[in-house]
Amino acid sequence: MTSVSPTIVALATAPTAGAVGILRLSGPAALEVGRRLAPGIPVEPTPRHAYLAAFVDAQGRALDEGLFLYFRAPASFTGEDVVELQAHGSPRLLQLLLARALEDGLARLATPGEFTRRAFLNGRIDLTRAEAVADLVAADSESAVRAAAAGLSGALSERVRALEEPLRALHADLEGVLNFPDEAEGADEDAGVRVQALRAQAEALMAEAGHGRLVRRGARVALFGPVNAGKSTLFNRLVGEARALVDDEPGTTRDALEARVEWRGLGVTLFDTAGLRETPGRVEALGIARTRELLSGVDLAVLVLPPGTAEADAERWLAEAGATPVLRIDGKCDVEARSSVMPEVRVADVHSDASRAKAPRTRASTVLESAGTASSESSSTPGAPATSASIVTSEADAPWGAPPRLRVSGLTGEGVDTLREALLSRLWGGGTPSAVALVSERHADALRRASEALSRAESASRLSTLEVVSGEVALSLEALGEVSGTSASEALIDAIFQRFCIGK
């Protein structure tokens, strides 16, 4: 951007009553406009110094007293002259100050995200860090806050740069060989190996898009299954309050209920759904239809089964979830008599029904290795009740080759902690949500195109000409530049900053 960019102004705080409200200006006339609101400020104020000043209207009458801060270009967030007026947080007062700043036509109202956009266009931040600003503002869980803060400090930028710089160097070498074969002789000898390594880097970064999506919007988990299986009681236990009606009469839940919780920093939206059965009433049937629709859009479904459900019946209910991953559990374990020795299994046993091998297993007590977390061996005592840290199955519940089912009681809380850990394990796997790079769907699409171009370049290095290899590397660089912003189009930049709030 150039020095002729217009000066912009906006409220940087929410338009609600609060302790402090901030008016922000950026551009060549920022100081002049700011001094009209605070005429007591020196003509050449000390940058980054907080002045206590009176804020006045056009007639010089005092409106408020607050702090005046001046940031001289280029050492500011936007790279331009920036002024901030920190007043008391009265919405009406802030509107008066904003109107006064706009009066003489020296400044105009900022568009959504325009301050951050100017920071990007002036080279103060790259596009990934600009997007992290919006992610941080929109964050509604600890993991989202921490991941966005990491992005703002350059965590994702560094990983993109680590891919982009060697890719640009490779392209330069290839173009050098093509255009100056004598001077750059041999620079293309290891091109295939370099392309292969860069493609692996792009795919590793692209693989984090799923985690980034979970952090941004939170996970969606639905409890479903036949009527009277204890879903609503378990829903209330997981949420921590009585949100769903509970009664012995089957079919109490007629519509989907939802509640937001946060587990280990990850935001999770839980859904309690209408119980499934073959002959529902008219209203109940509508609820069941909504259950089936909801199951297609969640990240994980929890099949809650009544005590003693046979495996054949469990498979029938399992089919209701379609392609959605399912975790199967036995509800109401507090009402089931336990008269036999039950094998104990750890959380990993319910990690994936689909991936479980069909090999025969014995009916003796078994402990399987945990996936994602390490824990010590434990054993079950014959006749003793299961603890909340165990996943147990009986012979009736788990015939040979069938995956074991976690036993849970929403009424007593038995098994609920283990269920929560199993859900997080299925949703997230290893590591912690706050450690993920916030790779968005936009990033993933660009990385996919970069990876595909590198794959073609790798093949071309063996089967085609150097011109083709260089062309595919150039396409990969262009796609990667959409992530960092080095080759982002004006339309793409417009779309990104439209999701920002005004004043940011």
DSSP state, 491?
Answer: H
Check: CB of residue 444 under 8 Å from CB of residue 206.
yes
The predicted structure's pLDDT at residue 106: 94
- Judging by beta carbons within 10 Å of its beta carbon (0-12, 13-18, 19+), is residue 474 exposed, middle or buried? middle
User: Percentage of residues in the chain with pLDDT exceeding 90?
Assistant: 29
Q: Which tokens in the block code for residue 241?
A: 């309050």
pLDDT (average), residues 312-328: 86
Check: CB of residue 443 under 8 Å from CB of residue 215.
no
Sign of CA dihedral 403, 270, 417, 338: negative
pLDDT (average), residues 73-96: 95
Q: What are phi and psi of 81, to 5 degrees?
A: -60, 130
* Identity at 396, one-letter amino acid code: A
Query: pLDDT band at residue 37, thresholds of 50, 70 and 90?
Result: very high
Check: CB of residue 152 under 8 Å from CB of residue 128.
no
The overall average pLDDT reported for the chain is: 79
pLDDT (average), residues 298-309: 87
- Between residues 180 and 254, the one the model is more confident about: 180
Judged against a pLDDT cut of 50, whether residue 357 lies above it is answered with: no
How many whole angstroms from its chain centre is CA 136? 11
The predicted structure's pLDDT at residue 250: 52
> What would the pLDDT profile of 239-252 be if each residue is shown by its tens digit?
887 655 555 555 55
pLDDT (average), residues 39-50: 95
Query: pLDDT band at residue 359, thresholds of 50, 70 and 90?
Result: very low
**pTM, to two decimals:** 0.67
> Could you please report the per-residue DSSP string of 427-465?
HH-SS-GGGS----HHHHHHHHHHHHHHHHHHHHHHHS-
Query: pLDDT band at residue 432, thresholds of 50, 70 and 90?
Result: low
Q: Which tokens in the block code for residue 43?
A: 């003509």
Check: CB of residue 273 under 8 Å from CB of residue 290.
yes
Contacts of 21 (CB under 8 A, 6+ apart): 11, 13, 86, 87, 88, 89, 90, 91, 93, 94
Tell me how far apart the alpha carbons of residues 456 and 195 are, in angstroms, rounded to a whole number: 10
* Identity at 487, one-letter amino acid code: S
H or E stretch at 479: helix 466-484
Half-sphere exposure of 456 (CA within 13 A, CB side): 15
* Identity at 188, one-letter amino acid code: D
The predicted structure's pLDDT at residue 89: 94
Contacts of 362 (CB under 8 A, 6+ apart): none
Tell me how far apart the alpha carbons of residues 294 and 304 are, in angstroms, rounded to a whole number: 16
- Between residues 230 and 402, the one the model is more confident about: 230
Least reliable range by pLDDT among 4-13, 88-97, 145-154, 164-173: 145-154
The predicted structure's pLDDT at residue 344: 43
DSSP state, 226?
Answer: B
Contacts of 193 (CB under 8 A, 6+ apart): none
> What would the pLDDT profile of 451-486 be if each residue is shown by its tens digit?
999 999 988 888 888 889 899 999 999 998 988 888
Query: pLDDT band at residue 75, thresholds of 50, 70 and 90?
Result: very high
Contacts of 314 (CB under 8 A, 6+ apart): 303, 305, 328, 405
- Between residues 301 and 355, the one the model is more confident about: 301
Sign of CA dihedral 497, 499, 503, 504: negative
The predicted structure's pLDDT at residue 355: 44
The predicted structure's pLDDT at residue 96: 95
The predicted structure's pLDDT at residue 204: 84
SS3 87: strand
Check: CB of residue 171 under 8 Å from CB of residue 453.
no
- Between residues 208 and 436, the one the model is more confident about: 208
The predicted structure's pLDDT at residue 374: 33
Query: pLDDT band at residue 358, thresholds of 50, 70 and 90?
Result: very low
- Between residues 146 and 40, the one the model is more confident about: 40
Q: Which tokens in the block code for residue 172?
A: 């330069």
Q: Which tokens in the block code for residue 175?
A: 């173009």
Q: At what angle do helices 416-428 and 209-217 cross, to 10 degrees?
A: 130
What is the DSSP pairing of strand 219-224 with strand 391-392?
unpaired
pLDDT (average), residues 418-436: 77
Judged against a pLDDT cut of 50, whether residue 210 lies above it is answered with: yes
Tell me how far apart the alpha carbons of residues 8 and 367 are, in angstroms, rounded to a whole number: 65
> What would the pLDDT profile of 119-136 be if each residue is shown by its tens digit?
999 999 889 888 888 888
Sign of CA dihedral 117, 119, 124, 128: negative
| 438 closest CA partner among 244, 156, 200, 170 | 156
* Identity at 461, one-letter amino acid code: S
